[in-house]
Amino acid sequence: MEVLLVGNTDFITKQWIQHSFPRDHVVIAEREGTVDGNDRLRIVNMSDANTLAETLTTYEFDRIVFFSEGLTPRSERDGDLGYLRRLLHAIRNRSTQMLMVCGPESEFTYPENADVRDTSKSLMSRASEELCLYYARTYRLEAKIIRCPYLYAPERNGATAYFGRLFEQASTGSISFCERKQRQTCFLCADDLAELIYRMFDDWTAESEIFHVPNVFDFTYGDLADAISAAFPGLSVTFGEDRPQHYPADDHVLRLRYGWSPRYSLKQDLPPVLQRWKEARAQEQSKKHPVWDFLRNHSKPWIAIEIFIAFILEELLRTAVQGNSQLGTVDLRLFFVVIVGTMHGLNAGVFAAALACVGMALSYASKGASLAPLFYDTSNWLAFVVYFVAGAVCGYVQLRNRENLRFMRDENSLLRERLAFLRDLYHDVLDDRRMLRGQIIGRRDSFGKMYAMTRELDEVQPQKLYHRPFALCKTHWAAIVSAFTALTAAVDSRV
C-alpha cells in the first residue's frame, strides 16, 4: 500500500518506518530534518496547495498519517489547521484510511482552577480533531484520532525540538523549566507510537474513533532535571510557576483492543540519549576550524582586507618598476581595478577604483605637486573616470554572470527535483502494473484460466496438438464453459 506521512515528521527515521509500515511504500511530506529517501522511503515537496493536490491525485494513497505540531512541547512553529483542511479536502470521497496523531493539549485539565478549562493550544487541537471528524462524517472518510503525549525519538539522539533546546541550554551551564518541579512529565517514545500505528492499521475498522494514549510512567520534571544534571556537572536548574495540569488516567481501551501499552520510559531512555547527543556534538565541533569558520562567516570583511593587501602590493610594484621603460608604460592601477572588479563584483570594483584614485592623488602629493590643480583642472579627471568606469563595467559583467549562473543552478535544481519526482511516479506505475498483472494472471476465475489455457496452447507444437486433444479438452473444458457462460451473461446484461 501507499502511505503518506505528513505534518510534524521530525522524529521519523528509517527504523521507525520499518517498524510501522514493514510492507508498504512510504512517502514523507518534505520538511526540515526529515531523513533521506531510499527504495521504500520517498520525500516529496508538498508545501503549497497545488503541489499537495497534485501529489495526492497522482499517488492515490491508501493510508495517510497526520502528525500534529502539538506533539512537540512549546513548539515555535505555526499551527497546522489550514494545512490539515487542504489535506482533508484533497482526499474527500476517497477510500483512504486517515489517522491523525494529536498532542496532549486537548486532554489537559486544570484541577486547581475551575475557571480555566481551555488554552489556546487546546482549542486549536480540538478544532483540528473536529475538522477531521467533520470530513469523516460528510465525505465518508475513514478517520481515527490518537490523543498522544509529547514525542521523543531516542534514535535521533533526542533531537526533537524540545529536548534539543534543553540540551543546548544545559551545555551553557544553566537550564530553565517553565513547569513546576513536582509536575509529571508527559512523554511517549516514538517506537511505542510506531507499534501502536502498526497494530491499528492491521486491525482497521471503518468507523471514526478517538483513542487516548496513557501516560503510565512516574517521572517528574525534577527527575528530568536530575538526569540532565548528572550528564552536565555543576548545572544550574530553575523551575517556573506554571499552572498544574492533569493528564487523564489510562482507560485500558488500547490494551484491551490492540494488546498495546507503552514499554519505553523516558527515565531509562534519557541517560543514553544524552550520551549519544554529547558524542554527536563533540564530533560536530571537531570538524570545525576557527580560521575557515571566520572566512565563511565574515566573507565581506575578508574581501575588503584582500583588496587592501592587493592595493598595497600594487603600489609597491609600481614604485619598483618606475625606472623600467617597458613596465613603466603599463597602468598597474587600472590593472588592479580590472582584476578586483572581475573577481568580486560591482561594489568591490568601485571600491578598488576609489583606492586607485587615492593612490594617484598620493603619488601627486609625494612629488610635491599641489592637489588643487588635480581637482580643478578637468583634463586631469580622465584617469579617475577611467578607473571608475573600468571598475563598474567589470563588476557589472561579473555580477551579471553570477546571477545567470545562480538562475541556471536554481533552474537545474528544479528540473532535477521534477525528474526525480517523475522517476518515482514511473517506478510506482511499473510496480502497480506488475502487481495488477500478477493478480489477473494468478486469479483462478474464468479470465485467469483462459489466459493460462491460451498460453499453454501457444507453447504446444502443432504436431503435438493431435496427440493431446482429449487431454486438453478434459483439462480445460470446464474453464472454456465457465468463460463462455460469463461472457454470455455480460452480453445479456448489456442488452
Q: Tell me: the pLDDT tens digits for 91-142? A: 888 888 899 999 888 888 877 666 667 777 888 888 999 999 999 888 878 8
Of residues 276 and 465, more confidently modeled: 276
Q: Which of 53-62, 391-400, 416-425 has the highest mean pLDDT?
A: 391-400
Residues 56 and 158 in one domain: yes
Residues 91 and 164 in one domain: yes
Residue 55 lies in a domain: yes
**What value does the mean pLDDT take over residues 392-409?**
86
Q: Give percent of the chain above pLDDT 70.
A: 73
172 φ, ψ (degrees, to nearest 5): -85, -10
pTM over 0.75: no
Helix extents (H) in 287-331 = 290-297, 299-320
Residues 86 and 210 in one domain: yes
Domain count, the chain: 3
Alpha-carbon distances, residue 192 vs 16, 187, 220 (angstroms): 10, 11, 20
pLDDT digits (tens, 9 = 90+) for 235-248: 888 888 877 778 88
Residue 422 lies in a domain: no
Residues 200 and 316 in one domain: no
Given a cut of 90, is residue 198 above it in pLDDT?
Answer: yes
Give me 63's grid cell.
493510508
Q: How much is the pLDDT for 98?
A: 92
Residues 118 and 138 in one domain: yes
- Give the model's confidence band at 201: pLDDT under 50 very low, under 70 low, under 90 confident, else very high: very high
- Give the model's confidence band at 89: pLDDT under 50 very low, under 70 low, under 90 confident, else very high: confident
Given a cut of 90, is residue 200 above it in pLDDT?
Answer: yes
Residue 227: Cβ within 10 Å count: 18
Cα dihedral: 283, 289, 290, 294 (round 10) = -120
- Give the model's confidence band at 173: pLDDT under 50 very low, under 70 low, under 90 confident, else very high: confident
> Among 255, 287, 319, which residue terminates a domain?
287
CATH number at residue 271: 3.40.50.720
Residue 72 lies in a domain: yes
Residues 102 and 234 in one domain: yes
Residue 13: Cβ within 10 Å count: 18
Beta bridge partners of 101: 67, 146
CA distance 89 to 201: 22
Q: How much is the pLDDT for 158?
A: 43
pLDDT digits (tens, 9 = 90+) for 334-387: 888 888 888 877 888 888 888 888 887 777 777 766 666 666 666 667 777 888
Residue 424 lies in a domain: no
Q: How much is the pLDDT for 24?
A: 84
Q: How much is the pLDDT for 495?
A: 46
**What value does the mean pLDDT take over residues 27-44?**
60
Cα Rg of the chain (Å, integer): 36
Residue 425 lies in a domain: no
CA distance 98 to 144: 6
Residues 95 and 178 in one domain: yes
Residue 437 lies in a domain: no
CA distance 484 to 495: 17
Residues 251 and 318 in one domain: no
Residues 319 and 253 in one domain: no
Q: Which structural domain range is residue 488 located in?
A: 443-494
> Among 231, 263, 287, which residue terminates a domain?
287
Q: How much is the pLDDT for 327?
A: 64
Q: How much is the pLDDT for 196?
A: 94
Residue 249 lies in a domain: yes
Residues 97 and 154 in one domain: yes
CB distance 96 to 130 below 8 Å: no
Q: How much is the pLDDT for 41?
A: 56
CB distance 376 to 354 below 8 Å: no
Beta bridge partners of 109: 246
CA distance 78 to 60: 28
> Among 266, 287, 308, which residue terminates a domain?
287
Q: Give percent of the chain above pLDDT 90.
A: 9
Task: Work out the burial of residue 171: count CB atoms within 10 Å of its CB; fewer than 13 is exposed, 13-18 middle, 19 or more buried.
Answer: middle
pLDDT digits (tens, 9 = 90+) for 317-337: 777 777 666 666 677 888 888
Residues 219 and 316 in one domain: no
CB distance 72 to 162 below 8 Å: yes
Q: How much is the pLDDT for 38?
A: 46
Beta bridge partners of 151: 188
Beta bridge partners of 210: 145
Average pLDDT, the chain: 77
Residues 232 and 351 in one domain: no
Q: How much is the pLDDT for 39?
A: 44
**What value does the mean pLDDT take over residues 2-23?**
85
Residue 419 lies in a domain: no
pLDDT digits (tens, 9 = 90+) for 451-479: 666 666 665 556 555 555 545 454 555 55
Q: Which of 220-224, 377-381, 480-484 has the highest mean pLDDT?
A: 220-224
CB distance 296 to 251 below 8 Å: no
CB distance 5 to 55 below 8 Å: no
